[in-house]
Amino acid sequence: MDRYPADVRLALQAMADAKVPAGMRAPPMHRLLWRMGLRVPPPLLASFGANLFVMGGLFGVLWGVLWRLLMGLVLDLGSLTLGITVGSAVMAGLLFGLLMALLMRYQRRRYRLPAWKTLLQGRVA
């Protein structure tokens, strides 16, 4: 945790003080980004839009790749067009991103946590 940016350490401490379980505070992808020095907010403190696009985007790409690989093994690739693969990846990403953004918003309210920007403004003031 000492290797994370100061803003991230502040956010992690605020979540620990609010009794947020450790697994919800710092998902593996975020820990990697923080170790690289990137000041990415934890999902619980990120905005609705950021969670929608980051989580949905990552899920959509993974879904598209797996869909293409798995369906290519089961079906003849001639019947599975690239458009169907991309369309299903976009729809899956949007649905997953929306659900995760709603879940993160609910959890932030449940633990009475401030948004990332509000937390950082409170530190400066």
pTM of the model: 0.84
CB contact set of 22 (below 8 Å; sequence gap of 6+): none
Q: What are the tens digits of pLDDT across the range 92-121? A: 999 999 999 999 999 999 999 999 999 888
Residue 89 has pLDDT above 70, yes or no: yes
- The answer to whether residues 119 and 14 touch, using CB atoms and an 8 Å cutoff, is yes
